A and B are shown apart, each in its own frame.
Chain A
């Protein structure tokens, strides 16, 4: 579904990605783990066209997208839930969700999806008229994921959804990610520092170290790998 070939990207003058190649198939959860500053977020920003790659190619469902503008890439069905949630603080919860459905015109479908989301996260339903900035960190993460879902993405890119959340909420967020994948057959690319949790729900994984892919395997094998255990699982 998504194919990244020999990607080189620069972020603020730094050669952040050095020949990164990865591949995702339809319906998979694939995780990308690695330390801070390894280039995980830059990988996602390059796929979305915010940090256009200097060299290399990205194909989405066979179509080259590495020269496209972010709004065109979004229109193809690639949605990112970025690091730090980036909720529109002065928009209400409902308006934030509306922004997720920015390019859609089917009013009935939008309403249906909003109901689906309010079932998924009843907390958001209670707060639908509240401003995004007044929500707690966990609620903001729920809203950020929901806003991404409002566009009915084919590929959902999640950047550190567990960052800064209490353990109970981390559990809830990961369960929801799994649910979204199973119920909607949405392909998910999950970038995480919480390697333990993300490898448990993913099918396959990539390990990134200073801008290069260091390891790639099934999630089960990565969980068992001595190298991953030592470096990322704290065992």
Chain B
């Protein structure tokens, strides 16, 4: 039973990270119908930013929760700036182009950012400090580590805040309106460019949160982590129903558990086989994803 719970919480942690990244994919897709393939790189940049900031701050004698919070917040701001700039440079000029053009631009952006970090940092794995210390009350708990608890709780809080934001604020309503009918939103005075920017900023900041937390949990990063995590989170977003916010969270968790149990009960070699096998399975029986709506194209 302990083994099962360990896998359960391991999957929950993994799934939380996938969910945090998948939210960015799904929000951007909802607004401009673009799969932002460079989104994983934003997550990776968040992790690297936190590494640099945390190293510098710990030299100044900072530690514990304040170090985690401060480096996390700076990573969020930094990643948000990257997301904002990326949209302006790589996607906005292609807004009226064919759908394939921004997609290719996104892949280009992804390769560019990976290589930029490769050159600016290193191609090797670098160790990441454990920013989350073991809580005293978790000492006797064997099935879950403190960092896992922090990841799960942070994801729950972030998702709740995002949901409230989308539901009740003016910008949140504008986001939903733009997602449904861009022209109509413009006719009601919505500055669509600003809404799109806000979407990229929020999605990028969430990805940074995921990047910082999981790196601290695992203990090492390199320039390539964004690619793998990005593909997995994209899978999670499609699994849950792309464009749907609760879908991204559910898709992330389902994917996390699938991987965790496959690793634990079968073999870690089969982790990806199960993850993508699940995707194929869902796409066959529910092409729009778990929570996706099947829309009939009007002619």
Contact = CB atoms under 8 A, between A and B. Distances in A.
Given A86-B181, A88-B181, A89-B180, A95 B188 contact: no
A91 B176 contact: yes
A98 interface: yes
A222 to B, nearest CB: 28
B93 interface: no
Interface string A43-79: 0000010100000000000000000011100110001
A151 B187 contact: no
A160 to B, nearest CB: 15
Contact of A99 (B177, B183, B191, B192): B177
B172 to A, nearest CB: 10
B191 A71 contact: yes
Contact of B188 (A89, A90, A151): A151
A100 B185 CA distance: 9
A50 B187 contact: yes
Contacts of A95: 173, 176
Contacts of A50: 183, 186-187
A4 to B, nearest CB: 18
Given A90-B176, A91-B176, A74 B188 contact: yes
Given A82-B184, A86-B184, A88-B181, A151 B176 contact: no
B180 A91 contact: yes
Interface string A85-110: 01011110001001110110000000
A43 B152 CA distance: 54
Interface residues of B, number: 17
B175 to A, nearest CB: 11
Nearest to B189: A74
A88 B185 CA distance: 9
A147 interface: yes
Interface in B99-119: none
Contact of A102 (B176, B181, B190): B190
Contacts of B184: 82, 86, 88
A75 B180 contact: no
Contact of B177 (A48, A71, A91, A151): A91
A80 interface: yes
A70 B188 CA distance: 8
Contacts of A48: 187
A131 to B, nearest CB: 11
A103 B186 CA distance: 12
A102 B187 contact: no
Given A74-B187, A80-B187, A151-B188, A102 B180 contact: no
B170 A102 contact: yes
A75 B180 CA distance: 22
B23 interface: no
Contacts of B185: 99
Nearest to A100: B188
Nearest to A70: B186
A147 B190 CA distance: 14
Interface of A: 48, 50, 69-71, 74-75, 79-80, 82, 86, 88-91, 95, 98-100, 102-103, 147, 151
Given A70-B186, A98-B170, 11 more contacts: A50-B183, A50-B187, A71-B190, A74-B188, A82-B184, A88-B177, A91-B177, A99-B177, A102-B173, A102-B190, A151-B189
The 9 tightest CB contacts between A and B, nearest first, are: A74-B189, A70-B186, A86-B184, A103-B189, A71-B191, A71-B189, A88-B180, A80-B187, A102-B189
